[in-house]
Structure 1
């Protein structure tokens, strides 16, 4: 039994983590929903029906369980970028592309009224997800530790890795549902912040994530209250910015679509 548990634990630590857990992505989608323009809201409804952006935000991660080679190989790198310096360089992307190349391609599809509705629906879901991904600092990794996946830490005594702490542990520690957390964060966003964060250039998002990423590696791998106290305001700031920017991006896409 001891050996079995160790194998399970090692597999869990070795497996790649998602960018934001489901709760984090749903929070960004819910904040985005509240900031859509009337036109963008109508276009989203035409594509998704009763599905809102909080639901759409998790779909690309849920599809990672599909055994089809498209999801297991082709789409796998579309959730992150590698940034070896301070800014994104396209030549660092793998042959399959990355979050930046995928965002550009899906944006073109979403803007194309002649594209099949299933392709436009996939594009919308991926755009919502990718923008959230690019605001998670470890999804703009330096290419040395798989975005913190190989950085072993403990979270209140339980073995995990740094990526998982930022994906979900810091968020789930609050004990809130995604809708409760999104409501808390949305009410704290000021009109001035909405204006200041209205940045639709992904290079801006990535530079912010890289700057934050450089400050979150702990000197002591035993993480608990002190680490949470220091970094929760930062993770909440990234969630709020991501939500506002998803909406700003979609507003711009649909306002300029043919």
Structure 2
């Protein structure tokens, strides 16, 4: 028993995806962009600078969605105040929280799911949200909408590659 306890004590702490992975993924994406594309994206993201300072480049915009709903007193959470902070939190957290993940049933034997079990997976999820976001990016001409959808797309591309954001039906949603 002492050996098992020592093993668990030696395990490193596991931290969430948050900033590092999102910024890394967006930085890798930037490597494939032309200077013209970078300039266009910069101009688009700069439009929100007065409302959400320091979130106007691809790397910080990719984290915006998590930062907007952040309520901890940490440096990562301090980028907006007042009404802008409240609005961002509402947008990021309430309506769209299921957009960060897709719960996938662990069903290796192909057992038919009951109607109740199927309903669990019928709600909006990250794959659906990415499709909607990409559609909006391709059809909208509104600068605000383009900015919001670009931030969502950047963030969701990071989340969809996070292994715990595609979990089984007995895990907490998104983990």
1:109 and 2:106 matched = no
Q: Residue 148 of structure 1: CA displacement?
A: 8.1
What is the correspondence of 1:150-161 to structure 2 with a 5 Å cutoff? none
C-alpha separation between the residues in 1 aligned to 2:104 and 2:34?
33
1:44 is aligned to 41
Q: Residue 94 of structure 1: CA displacement?
A: 4.6
Give deviations 1:239-258, integer Å, cap 9, x for gaps: xxxxxxxxxxxxxxxxxxxx
C-alpha separation between the residues in 2 aligned to 1:105 and 1:148?
19
C-alpha separation between the residues in 2 aligned to 1:76 and 1:136?
15
Contact in 2 for aligned 1:138/1:147 (Cα 8 Å): no
1:81 and 2:118 matched = no
Which of 48, 61, 80 matches 1:56? 61
Give deviations 1:165-223, integer Å, cap 9, x for gaps: xxxxxxxxxxxxxxxxxxxxxxxxxxxxxxxxxxxxxxxxxxxxxxxxxxxxxxxxxxx
Report 1 or 2 for greater relative contact order, CA contacts < 8 Å, sequence distance ≥ 6: 1
Give aligned pairs, total: 128
**Taking structure 1 as the reference length, what is the TM-score of the superposition?**
0.43
The structure-2 alpha-carbon separation of the partners of 1:113 and 1:74, relative to structure 1 and needing over 3 Å to count, comes to closer
C-alpha separation between the residues in 1 aligned to 2:146 and 2:29?
18
Q: Residue 106 of structure 1: CA displacement?
A: 1.1
Unpaired stretches in structure 1, ≥5 consecutive residues: 1-16, 150-258
Contact in 2 for aligned 1:33/1:52 (Cα 8 Å): no
**Deviating 4+ runs (over 6 angstroms):** none
C-alpha separation between the residues in 2 aligned to 1:123 and 1:98?
15
Q: Residue 46 of structure 1: CA displacement?
A: 2.8
C-alpha separation between the residues in 2 aligned to 1:144 and 1:129?
25
Unpaired stretches in structure 2, ≥5 consecutive residues: 1-14, 50-55, 71-84, 108-117
The structure-2 alpha-carbon separation of the partners of 1:76 and 1:94, relative to structure 1 and needing over 3 Å to count, comes to farther
**CA root-mean-square deviation:** 2.9
